[in-house]
Amino acid sequence: MIVHCPGCSQTYFLPPDAVAGFKNPTSSQSDLGWWLSCGFCDHQLWQSYEQSLPSFPTIMEMDDSELSSLGVPSQDRTPFIKSAKASNRSWVFGVASLLIVLISLGGVGYLYQKPLMLFWYQTIGKPILPSPKPLHLNNVSYTLKASDSEGDDSQILTVKGQIVNAAATSRLTPIIRVSVWTDCQETTSGVISAQGDCLYFEWVFKPDSAQIGGSTWLPFETSYPVSAKVRRVEVAISPF
């Protein structure tokens, strides 16, 4: 058995047959052990049977040369060395298994990178915005200005914006529809929106250019006099 002296911190091997009265412990002999005298410092120590059994850390820390330096006979070193080798094999097997799993995950990710990226953006990451239509409006704004005509209380509504052609080829310039919404008591159109206002009037126009080049944009501007209070203005590409 391996004995560690608390007096001088010396560790050495003591053959079991060198200890008189060696017996296997039973439930009624839990305190079975031996009083020993350290051969280096003469310190008296109690070595219980449980303490005499080699622990797992002791097995892992000792190789053949260390066991030899403790005086462990060669025939008694085999259990220690086999246990240490088995532990080393388990460690190598665990690392190899982890590498195989990581390589497999990397291969699956490479083969299915597009579906995985789409799944990521749709569930966890930034949502994928739908691609804009080939023709769409951008930077649309409107202003109201008092009429310059004397005695005219109406205002001039001016709408500006851009028609963007996202396609690579040229497209025909579309017709633009402008809808003006006001308080329902100021109009008799009878068209009521979900916001609770009513359609005052609407008009359509087409910019001067007949076509819009591919991957470019065309500015537009239109004006119309209004006499009612404008609550909001809608500008869209007319389907007609």
81 — pLDDT class (breaks 50, 70, 90): very low
Separation of alpha carbons 79 and 83, rounded Å: 6
Q: Output the pLDDT for position 54.
A: 47
Fold of 135-237: Immunoglobulin-like (2.60.40)
Question: Is the pLDDT score of 103 beyond 80?
Answer: yes
122 — pLDDT class (breaks 50, 70, 90): low
74 — pLDDT class (breaks 50, 70, 90): low
Separation of alpha carbons 228 and 154, rounded Å: 8
117 — pLDDT class (breaks 50, 70, 90): confident
Question: Is the pLDDT score of 75 beyond 90?
Answer: no
Rg (CA), the chain: 46
Q: What pairing do the DSSP bridges indicate for beta strands 2-4 and 11-13? A: antiparallel
Q: What is the mean pLDDT of residues 181-210?
A: 91
Question: Is the pLDDT score of 235 beyond 50?
Answer: yes
Short-list 163, 158, 171, CA closest to 224: 158
Separation of alpha carbons 192 and 200, rounded Å: 10
pTM, two decimal places: 0.45
* The amino acid at 240: F
Q: Output the pLDDT for position 51.
A: 55
Q: What is the pLDDT of residues 7-49, one digit of tens each?
A: 877 776 666 555 555 444 443 444 566 667 777 777 777 766 5
φ/ψ bin of 100: left (φ > 0), alpha (ψ from -120 to 50), beta (otherwise): alpha
Q: How many other CB atoms are found less than 10 A from the CB of residue 3? A: 19
Q: What is the mean pLDDT of residues 88-101?
A: 79
Element (H, E) at 57: helix 56-61
Say what percent of the chain tops pLDDT 90. 32
> Would you state the structure tokens that stand for residue 203, as one six-digit string?
């008009």
If you ran DSSP here, which 8-state letter would residue 8 be given? Answer: T
